[in-house]
Amino acid sequence: MSTLEALPRIEPAEGLVAAWTERYTGALMNTFGPPKRVLVRGEGCHVWDADGKRYLDLLSGLAVNSLGHAHPLVVQAVTGQLTTLGHISNFFASAPQIVLAERLLDLLGVAGNGRVFFCNSGAEANEAAFKIARRTGRPKIVSTVGGFHGRTMGALALTGQPAKQEPFAPMPPGVEFVPYGDTGALAEAVDERTAAVILEPIQGENGVLPAPPGYLAAAREITERHGALLILDEVQTGVGRTGEWFAYLPTGITPDVVTLAKGLGAGIPIGACVGIGRAATLLGPGDHGTTFGGNPVACAAGLAVLYAIERDDLLANVRQVGAHLVEGIRAIEHPLLAGVRGAGLLLAFQLTGPHAARLAEAALDAGFIVNNVAPDAVRLAPPLILTAEQADTFLRALPGLLDSVWKEISA
């Protein structure tokens, strides 16, 4: 008998999705509510549930599956690395870790002037950024209302959503919040006690709200004037999601810290906190750590993702298919539809009322995975490989989905 044959098998359950959901409820903490479906397989931009139903994945695991599901390059990279060197601890280094760090610094345009700390998630990347800010010796960090930077305690303290903070108060001290996009409020809040300002180029979890033109450049000028760090949270917007390698790059500014995660591993957990200039050396030996950060398998996946984006010109695809989706949504005239916003393949269409959850349910029933990111906004964050033809299947279905919700609320 081979080693594989000796492993316990996961047998199909009687009742399939319903039975698996019941078992989930009995075995896992209720931190996410009951699962909407139990998924068993993915290929490209599609996934299948345990009942055999197929869905077009327009959320990609919350913007994580940048290359879709079971992409051959990621499978090849992960399996190849795992058969060679799987985990080594941070007492040692590996070639994938070093090469990925060099590649990220190159893409950010800071090769020779930056350093990378690898971790496992966006929250961890922002925790590292938080500690970099603390090492300036200044007590205050400025964040924004509605911003989302993670759910660990440090990252949660930076998150401008009181409903997520209040059950776990008190938060780590020293964080002040200003309205997102308000340059005047930011200028008033930042002073010589400010260690850092943390901003998202697009507030993804707050309904996909892009920063106003000039806002990031103004934040750079304000932080420089007072000697504070500028931290850009590109956890959701980075690695090609907006049609640029990183959403802030077209602004021409250079931040002090950039945090990454989600799409970097295409489903393999990895995050990164990139320090630039003086921020690259504020953390020293013993200041911070992570058990799995820099894992060779995760770094190999990250390298495969960057290679695929470049090889297949996916930045252009993101811009073209994203524009196609925006144009298609804007062409729909419906009393429930109020507009569309975002960049590349990070979009949200605005509804005229708090009906996003019902619309997301209707879409799921029709075979489309979308996300009610706000009561009145539905988020689209599909794989970067989405084609215009696949986008069209959703655009053709959307009027009927809106009609179904409209009839329900009008009854």
- Domain-wise residue ranges, the chain: 17-65+313-410, 74-312
Mention every residue, 6+ apart, whose C-beta is less than 8 A from residue 358: 405, 408, 409
Could you check whether 17-65+313-410 and 74-312 share the same CATH topology? Answer: no
Assess whether pLDDT exceeds 70 at residue 14. Answer: no
Return d(Cα 97, Cα 117) in angstroms, integer. 10
What pLDDT was estimated at residue 4?
A: 62
pLDDT at position 191 is 98
In sequence order, what are the residues at sequence separation of 6 or more whose Cβ sits closer than 8 angstroms to the Cβ of residue 409? 353, 355, 358
DSSP H/E element including 62: helix 60-63
What's the rounded mean pLDDT across residues 325-353?
97
Q: Distance (Å, rounded) from C-alpha 143 to C-alpha 200?
A: 10
Half-sphere exposure of 160 (CA within 13 A, CB side): 21
What average pLDDT does this structure show over 306-322?
A: 98
Is 235 marked as a binding-site residue? yes
**CA 410 remoteness from chain centre:** 35
- Measured CA to CA, the distance from residue 214 to residue 197 in angstroms comes to 16
Helical axes 72-82 vs 296-311, angle rounded to 10°: 150
64 is annotated as contributing to ligand binding: no
How do 371-374 and 229-233 pair as beta strands? unpaired
Report H helices in 251-375: 296-311, 314-330, 356-366
The CATH fold assigned to 74-312 is Aspartate Aminotransferase; domain 2 (3.40.640)
Q: What is the pLDDT of residue 150?
A: 97
Q: Is the pLDDT of residue 12 over 80?
A: no
Does 256 belong to an annotated binding site? no
Whether 239 has a pLDDT exceeding 80, the answer reads: yes
Share of the chain above pLDDT 90, in %: 93
Q: Higher model confidence: residue 6 or residue 133?
A: 133
Give which of 165, 156, 147, 261 is closest to 207, Cα–Cα: 147
Instruction: Answer yes or no: pTM beyond 0.85.
Output: yes
For 81, 88, 265, 303, the CA distances from 298, given in Å and listed in that order, are 9, 12, 6, 9
Distances (CA, A) of 253 to 28, 208, 215, 337, 365: 44, 22, 11, 35, 44
324 vs 20: which has the higher pLDDT = 324
Residue 234 known to bind ligand: yes
> Which residues make beta-bridge pairs with 69?
44
122 is in an annotated binding site: yes
Q: Does 151 show up as a binding residue in the annotation? A: yes
Q: Which of 255, 205, 196 has the alpha carbon at shortest distance from 228?
A: 196
Band (16; pLDDT cuts 50, 70, 90): confident
- Checking if the pLDDT of 149 tops 80, the result is yes
pLDDT of 15 over the 90 cut:
no
DSSP character at residue 264: G
Q: For the chain, give the mean pLDDT.
A: 96
Average pLDDT on 344-371 reads 97
Which pLDDT score, from 0 to 100, does residue 398 have?
Answer: 98
Query: How far apart are the C-alpha atoms of 346 and 340, rounded to whole Å?
Result: 11
**pLDDT surpasses 50 at 50:** yes
What mean pLDDT do residues 202-207 have? 96
Could you give the maximum distance between any two Cα atoms of the chain, in Å?
Answer: 70
User: Is the confidence at residue 199, as pLDDT, over 70?
Assistant: yes
Those residues whose C-beta lies under 8 Å from the C-beta of residue 19, and which sit 6 or more positions away, are 13
- Tell me which of 241 and 13 has the higher pLDDT: 241
Q: Which fold has domain 17-65+313-410?
A: Aspartate Aminotransferase, domain 1 (3.90.1150)
CB of 259 closer than 8 Å to CB of 231: yes
Q: For position 339, what pLDDT does the model report?
A: 96
pLDDT of residue 156: 98
Q: Is 291 annotated as a binding residue?
A: yes
What does the alpha-carbon distance between residue 283 and residue 287 come to, in Å, rounded to a whole number? 6
Give the N- to C-terminal CA distance of the chain in Å, as an integer: 62
In this model, does residue 253 exceed pLDDT 80? yes
The pair of structure tokens assigned to 283 is 């953390």
The residues with which 140 forms a beta bridge, in sequence order, are 194
| Residue 312 counted as an annotated binding residue | no
pLDDT value at residue 2: 54
